[in-house]
């Protein structure tokens, strides 16, 4: 799957299932420090999201979506999926998805590559969320109330996780 295919599917899903989003063009963003600068520059009010490409012991790929300031609780994810997972190395991610580390979109993938996403419910505590469409020079800010529809129309299986629940 190429970055261009992911980008196209991302935008098609966004246009079909979100009524309110904004697109911002800027210098490349590949880390949260630069993302914070861009948020300040454009006056973004949404919570920065973090998409992690993870791989189970079985070899199955998953997406994990949370907020920028949280880490994945591997034990909770293992309990939810029934297998141990690790974050996919950058080189493998680029080879499989064509996206650079630091700008992985939360949706837009072919289900033959990623059919399951684990979503940290913390995201739903914010009115808006910020993400990348897979392009370092573009940031999207959208209403969170459309996030479930965006994800449920992108993945065969959407699993929700609440941080702190064992």
The range of the structural domain enclosing residue 85 comes to: 3-161
Q: Is residue 166 part of a domain?
A: no
Tell me the CATH number at 32: 3.90.960.10
Please say whether the beta carbons of 129 and 46 come within 8 A: yes
Q: What percentage of the chain exceeds 90 in pLDDT?
A: 81
pLDDT of residue 39: 93
**Rounded distance, CA 140 to CA 42, Å?**
11
pLDDT digits (tens, 9 = 90+) for 25-58: 999 988 888 889 999 999 999 999 999 999 999 9
């Amino acid at each position: 799957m190429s970055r261009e295919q992911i980008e196209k599917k991302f935008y098609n899903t966004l246009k079909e299932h979100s009524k309110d989003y904004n697109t911002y063009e800027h210098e490349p963003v590949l880390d949260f420090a630069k993302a914070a600068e861009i948020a300040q520059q454009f006056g973004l009010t949404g919570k920065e999201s973090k998409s992690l490409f993870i791989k189970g012991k079985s070899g199955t790929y998953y997406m994990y979506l949370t907020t920028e300031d949280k880490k994945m609780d591997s034990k909770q994810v293992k309990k939810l999926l029934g297998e141990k997972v690790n974050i996919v190395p950058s080189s493998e991610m680029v080879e499989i998805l064509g996206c650079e580390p630091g700008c992985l979109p939360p949706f837009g993938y072919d289900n033959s590559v990623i059919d399951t996403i684990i979503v940290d419910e913390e995201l739903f505590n914010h009115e808006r969320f910020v993400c990348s469409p897979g392009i370092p020079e573009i940031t999207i800010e959208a209403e969170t109330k459309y996030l479930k529809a965006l994800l449920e129309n992108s993945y065969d299986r959407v699993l929700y996780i609440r941080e702190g629940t064992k």
